[in-house]
Every structure is written in structure tokens, then in C-alpha cells.
Amino acid sequence: MVEGVDIIKKYVTNLPGKPGVYRMMDAQEKVLYVGKAKSLKTRVSNYTNLTGLPYRIARMVTETQSMEFTTTHTEVEALLLEANMIKRLKPLYNILLRDDKSFPYILIDTTHPAPQVKKHRGAKKKEGYYFGPFASVKAVNHSLHILQKAFFLRTCSDGVYNSRTRPCLLYQINRCAGPCVEKISLVDYKKLVQSAHDFLDGKSHRIKQKLTDKMEKASHETAYETAAIYRDRLKALATVQSRQDTGQGHVEEADIIAGYQQGGQSCIQVFFFRAGQNWGNKAYFPRHHKDQEMEDVLPAFIAQFYDNKPPPKIILVNCHIAQIDLLQEALGIKAKHKVKISMPQRGDKLNLIKMVEKNAQEALERRLAEKSSQKKLLEAVSERFNLDGPPNRIEIYDNSHISGTNAIGAMVVSCPDGFDKGSYRKFNIKSTDITPGDDYGMMREVMTRRFKRQLKEDPDRSSHTWPDLLIIDGGKGQLSAVQQVMVDLGLEDIPLVSIAKGPDRNAGREDFYLPGITPFKMPVNDPALYFLQRLRDEAHRFAIGSHRQQRAKTMYKSILDDMPGIGPSRKKALLMHFGSAKAVEGAALSDLETVNGISRVLAKNIYNYFHEND
């Protein structure tokens, strides 16, 4: 502990009194903690006085062997940089937001004369109108379904649209206006698009009134089929209104964020309200020390949560937030508009935040119950396989290929909290000595690469990335192949289990192989068996998915891809000029020289590449 204090004191001597971000690192240069400061010198010097520091922080000081610093112009910049670094570096002692994926949006794509409405995730590069974020793809799909029923917008791709010669099924069931076959003029179709835009923009009342007027007019004119269409469109819009929890209050545009703690763990629920509509909710379980209160957890969560998302104008929370002005200013800079964070004290908004907090409580209680059940399953696995104790990290391996082609090895990881998808790995089988289809050889390569690298990165075996149990999808042969690799690497102490599918590949009749033990089956109704089947099936799913991705890349690989001197732009120029890679292969030298961006020397190189063996 004294050594850590002395190291920090040396850094303090030369630190400026400027805002910035500091990183504390251990002997392996792994980042332990990322913090921000209004004055780096003042903040870091606090770590040199151990009196009054919590045990957790004192332990961090003990492990600190070096520090790095980044100065910023303002404390707001430091806050934004801190949030970004925490998400990127995942320090052990920081509050960490996990499972932070980008959210889906609805995109009205205006690059086509008949705009398409579709799901969108990622960078907003396409021209059009974006609406969101939605909490999940399920929420997006629900809204797209409503848009189809209410506004008859097309969801097909441009390629499908351009190739149609007669109306599709969606037109026949009143889910599309049929602009592809001119069942509606582009002018009238764009009016539908504008109505959908207005609806997603919060003007649903005006849209409903127009449809009501048209329905009544059609009814008075005895055009009952037309009136029925307007009625169905109104019903679709009414379902959106019915989804709103009007009894808890109403907000136009806000994120409602409420946290709940129990048993040293936290759940934070986020509800998205846009255009007066509830666009779904999602639960998060940030990683933090058990002694940290919600007043510490929530501000850190908000800073990291909006690192890659646009904040709304209003954020409602259920607890006090320290340095709220600083956080509001930082979010306002990212959003390019004023952001207000408030904690409702009365009225409908207080009811709303209580409802969100109740959701957080229920989600955390479900998670704790699941963890309790998971703990019992891990204890049962430990008992069945004679382990020293319940495994904290289980690695499951499987291979996938078709007649040896596009061979993939896959590793999935299970922890007490469930599958750790961030630790999944896939291995493209590289060895040329392996006979196509040799499962044993592929498994040997995967295990050799996995644990040679692990030994190189952590020779002392001190990190949490070492498995407590290895499960192999296969039989006695796969087990022997893996066992030999582990002996060669001096890792024979890691428990191994191989799961072979039962007769006729029936689930429940699997054979379990362990080194030096006669193969055995588990009782069909054993919960531990179901748990192991789930692990095996997840590895199989990941292996198959990775193999399909690899196969798809190979299918679309062009003969131009490996040609020296041909990058994406020149490849595009050649394909645009000749129409296909095959046509480029057969082109004359004089024709190649006419392509934009292709010099005479390069044209000759391309020609020789295809004709060098003629």
C-alpha cells in the first residue's frame, strides 16, 4: 500500500491544476480506474492520504503501479472523455455500463421516388427521416406494422420494388398502396409518406381527425368498403394510443431513468418517450462495487449511456444527482440542444417515475431469482463432474464446416450471470496440414491457439479469463484430442468434459466423457442436464452462425479482390465499366486502358494477371 502511495506522490509533483482525465494502472499496465477532475493535481493528491479512503479505493491504490493523464480545456470535456474511456477500457474499479448496444430507429428512406419505411441501426448515413431511438427491434417491428396498416407504406427493398410486375400480397391485404405497379400515383403516395412522418413526429391527433372525416364522408356517400378501410386505419392508430400508460402521466419527448438496488446489485430501467408515444423500455444491470449507492451509480450510468446516443431534451430520474449542472452541460454539447435532468416531486411525472422504478425493482428481483437458480445449477454441475467447486467460467467449444470448407471453431463462455457474449471467440481454421473434415485436427488447432495465447498474456494464471471447466461438443475422439493439447501445454489440471449426442441425436440421451472415467448418462429430468444442453446448443448456434457468415463472404468474393494494385475504388470502376468480374478477365488490353482511374501500366498488369499462363 505504501508503494502505491509513493508512486502516486511522484506523479502529483508534476501535475498541473487543469481539468483532465487520469488512469491508474497495475503492473501489467491494465487500467484499474479512470477518473475525471476539475484540477488533476488536487484530485490525484487525494489518493496519497489513505485515512478515510474506503477499503475498495485503498486496495486500488495498493495495485497502482503507473498512471497516465490527459488534460482538457474544461471539466465538461473531461466528463465526456471519462465516459468514453470507461466504456472502451472497462476498468475494474469503475461503475461500468454493460450490454450497451446501439438502438434501432425507423427510417423513411427518401433516396427513392417512392420512399421506403424500414428498420435502421448504426450510423445515419442514408438520406431520409430518422425516428427513435426504440428500446428494441420488437418495438420497431410493432410500429412498422402500425405504419403499414395505417399508411400503406412499402417495406420492400428497392430491388424488389423495381422488379415487380404485379401487386404483392401486402397490397392485397391492405398493407401497401402498391406504388410499384402504379396502383397509386407517386404524388398521392408521398402524401401517405408525409402523413406517416407527421404521425411519428407526434401529430397523431391531427392525422386521426383527417381519417375520421374521410371515413364519415365515405359512409354518407354509401362507399362502405372505402369507409371500412379508413376505419381499419383508425383502429391501427388507436392501438398505439392504447399502449400509452395514460394513468401515469404524459410526456412528449423524454427518457425516464429509474434505478433500484437490492443485495448489493442495481437495475436501471430506461423508458423512451418520443412524439408522445412510449417507444419501449430496457433494463440495465451496471457493474459496480456493492457499497456504492444509487446516487453514485446513476450519474455514471447516464454519462456512459449517452456516449453513443443522442440525449432527449428532458431526462427524468428517481434520485439526486451530484454535479447535475455539469452533466446537463456535457449532454447538451453532445445533443447540440439544451438538456434538462430533473427529479419529479409531485404530479403525473412523479407517478410516471414511480412506475419506471417499479419496473426496475421487478427486473432486479427476477435477475436475483435467476442467479439463485443458476447458482444451484452450477453446484449440481460441480457435483456431477467432481469439481473443486461451482465453476465461475465455463468455456464450450464446437466446430462447423461443410465437407471441410469454411471451417470454423467457436468458443462461447458461460458465467454465473449467464452467457458472456463479449467473451465469445471464433477461430478460422488456418492449418493446411488438416485434412478437410478432420474434426479432431480442427479441435486441436482451436485449443492450441486459444491456450497458447492465454499463456502468453497471463503466464501466472492470475486473471479471471482462465476457465474452470471446458466442455467439448463431441465424443471420445474429440476429448482425447483436446486432452493431448492440454498436456502438451502443461494445463492438464483444467477439467474437461465432452458431450456426445445420444442415439438418433435425441436430446436427453447424451453420453458424457471425462478423462479416466467410464462414459455415463444423466437422468432425463435432471436440471443439470438441461443446463448443459443449453450450453452445448449455444455453442452450436454460434458455430453455425459464424460458419454461415464465412461462407457468405466466400460466395460474394470477387476474383478482383486479390489482385495487386486494385482497391475498392478501382474495383468499382472496373465493374461499372465491364459489368462483371468475368468480363474484366476477358477484356482486351486496349479496353482496360479506357477505364477511368486505370493507367496504361496498371491495365497491362491486370491483363497479365489473367493471361500470364496463356
Question: Residue ranges per domain, the chain?
Answer: 2-89, 111-245, 248-365, 394-548, 568-611
C-alpha cell of residue 59: 486496495
Q: Secondary structure of the chain: what % helix, strand, coil (to 5)?
A: 50, 20, 35
Domain spanning 394-548: CATH superfamily: UvrC, RNAse H endonuclease domain (3.30.420.340)
Task: Give pLDDT, residue 1.
Answer: 62
Pairwise pLDDT comparison (404 vs 272), residue with the higher score? 272
Query: Exposed/middle/buried for 223, CB within 10 Å: 0-12, 13-18, 19+?
Result: middle
Q: Residue 279: what are its φ and ψ, rounded to 5°?
A: -100, 30
Pairwise pLDDT comparison (231 vs 44), residue with the higher score? 44
Task: Give pLDDT, residue 403.
Answer: 64
Give the model confidence (pLDDT) of 110-138 as tens digits: 888 899 888 888 888 888 888 888 888 88
Is residue 13 within a helix (H) or strand (E), and if so which, with residue range?
helix 2-13
| Exposed e or buried b per residue across 355-367, where buried means at least 16 C-beta atoms within 10 angstroms of its C-beta | bbbebbbebbeeb
Length of the chain: 614
C-alpha cell of residue 423: 467473451
Query: How does residue 308 score in pLDDT terms, banded at 50, 70 and 90?
Result: confident
Is residue 254 within a helix (H) or strand (E), and if so which, with residue range?
strand 254-262
C-alpha cell of residue 371: 442467479
Q: For residue 247, is pLDDT > 50? A: no
User: Which of these, 542, 81, 603, lies nearest to 307 by C-alpha position?
Assistant: 81
Lowest-pLDDT range, 363-377, 454-468, 563-577? Answer: 563-577
Is residue 361 within a helix (H) or strand (E), and if so which, with residue range?
helix 347-384
Task: Give pLDDT, residue 505.
Answer: 59
Give the model confidence (pLDDT) of 476-510 as tens digits: 999 999 999 999 999 989 999 999 886 665 666 88
Mean pLDDT, residues 36-64 taken together = 89
CA distance 497 to 528: 14
CA distance 393 to 391: 6
Per the prediction, the chain carries an average pLDDT of 86
Mean pLDDT, residues 440-457 taken together = 91
Task: Give pLDDT, residue 245.
Answer: 47
Task: Give pLDDT, residue 37.
Answer: 93
Query: How does residue 471 score in pLDDT terms, banded at 50, 70 and 90?
Result: very high
The residues near 141 (Cβ < 8 Å, ≥ 6 apart) are 119
Query: Exposed/middle/buried for 107, CB within 10 Å: 0-12, 13-18, 19+?
Result: buried
The residues near 575 (Cβ < 8 Å, ≥ 6 apart) are 560, 581, 584
Residue with cell string 475525471: 36
Asked, colleague to colleague, whether 248-365 and 568-611 share their fold, the answer is: no
Give me the torsion for CA of 51, 53, 57, 60, rounded to 10°: -10
Neighbour count for residue 33 (Cβ, 10 Å) = 21
Mode of pairing for the β-strands spanning 517-520 and 425-428: unpaired
CA distance 544 to 25: 39
CA distance 167 to 178: 6
| DSSP-assigned beta bridge partners for residue 473 | 499
Q: What percent of the chain lies above the pLDDT cut of 90?
A: 34
Residue 565 CA: distances (Å) to CA of 556, 558, 580, 598: 20, 15, 18, 10
**Which amino acid is located at 252 in the chain?**
E
First CA to last CA distance, the chain: 74
Q: For residue 240, is pLDDT > 60? A: no
Query: How does residue 334 score in pLDDT terms, banded at 50, 70 and 90?
Result: confident
Task: Give pLDDT, residue 575.
Answer: 78
Give the model confidence (pLDDT) of 343-384 as tens digits: 998 888 898 999 999 999 999 988 888 888 888 999 999 999
Domain spanning 568-611: CATH superfamily: 5' to 3' exonuclease, C-terminal subdomain (1.10.150.20)
CA distance 505 to 514: 20
Mean pLDDT, residues 421-449 taken together = 86
Backbone CA torsion sign across 574, 578, 579, 583: negative
Mean pLDDT, residues 506-528 taken together = 84
Residues 36 and 79: beta-carbon distance below 8 Å: yes
Question: Which CATH code is given to the segment(s) 248-365?
Answer: 3.30.420.10
CA atoms lying within 13 Å on the CB side of residue 372: 7
Mean pLDDT, residues 1-18 taken together = 87
Neighbour count for residue 39 (Cβ, 10 Å) = 15
CA distance 328 to 303: 10
Domain 2-89 of CATH type 3.40.1440.10: yes
Give the model confidence (pLDDT) of 144-186 as tens digits: 887 888 888 888 888 888 888 888 888 888 888 899 988 899 9
C-alpha cell of residue 373: 437458480
CA distance 140 to 120: 9
Mean pLDDT, residues 578-584 taken together = 77
**Which amino acid is located at 603 in the chain?**
A
Whether omega for the bond prior to residue 104 falls within 30 degrees of 0, making it cis, is no
Pairwise pLDDT comparison (487 vs 574), residue with the higher score? 487
Residues 77 and 24: beta-carbon distance below 8 Å: no
Report the Cα 155 to chain-centroid distance in Å. 24
C-alpha cell of residue 230: 379508413
**Which amino acid is located at 240 in the chain?**
V
Task: Give pLDDT, residue 589.
Answer: 87
